[in-house]
Amino acid sequence: DQQVKQNSPSLSVQEGRISILNCDYTNSMFDYFLWYKKYPAEGPTFLISISSIKDKNEDGRFTVFLNKSAKHLSLHIVPSQPGDSAVYFCAALGTYKYIFGTGTRLKVLA
């Protein structure tokens, strides 16, 4: 049973445009969410997080939105850059562990 879902395995965006990556979860008890970026041959790198008491958190070009009623979060990257090309994982914090989605491969075209 996949508690955290990323339904888009891949996304292509032109450089300078907005990238929107989506994530859905099923467990309403999750109260902390994170986005990680992963390049080939490297471990996931923490990008941004949000707690359930907020609906938005912004850090530079990255903004995470949380819609608790829809059990949905999204990561917006504006403007997208070629260096943003990577696999993006959303994760929800369970009791003591992270539960990851399957990832979305973002390709930013120059």
Partner 1 sequence: ETGVTQSPTHLIKTRGQQVTLRCSSQSGHNTVSWYQQALGQGPQFIFQYYREEENGRGNFPPRFSGLQFPNYSSELNVNALELDDSALYLCASSLTGTSGGAWETQYFGPGTRLLVL
| Cβ–Cβ < 8 Å for 8, 103 | no
| Cβ–Cβ < 8 Å for 76, 20 | yes
Q: Tell me: does residue 22 bind partner 1 (CB under 8 A).
A: no
14/27 with CB nearer partner 1: 27
- Least separation in angstroms between residue 82's CB and partner 1 is 21
- Least separation in angstroms between residue 48's CB and partner 1 is 10
User: Residues near 2 by Cβ (< 8 Å), separated by ≥ 6?
Assistant: 26, 101, 102
Of 41, 53, 70, 110, the one binding partner 1 (CB under 8 A) is 41
Burial string for 70-97 (b: 16+ CB within 10 Å, else e) reads: ebebbbbbeebeeebbbbbbbbbbeeee
Of 69, 70, 83, 96, the one binding partner 1 (CB under 8 A) is 96
9/16 with CB nearer partner 1: 9
Q: Tell me: does residue 83 bind partner 1 (CB under 8 A).
A: no
User: Sign of torsion, CA 31 79 46 89?
Assistant: positive
**Contacting positions for partner 1 (CB under 8 A):** 4, 6, 32, 34, 36, 41-46, 49, 51, 89, 91, 93, 95-103
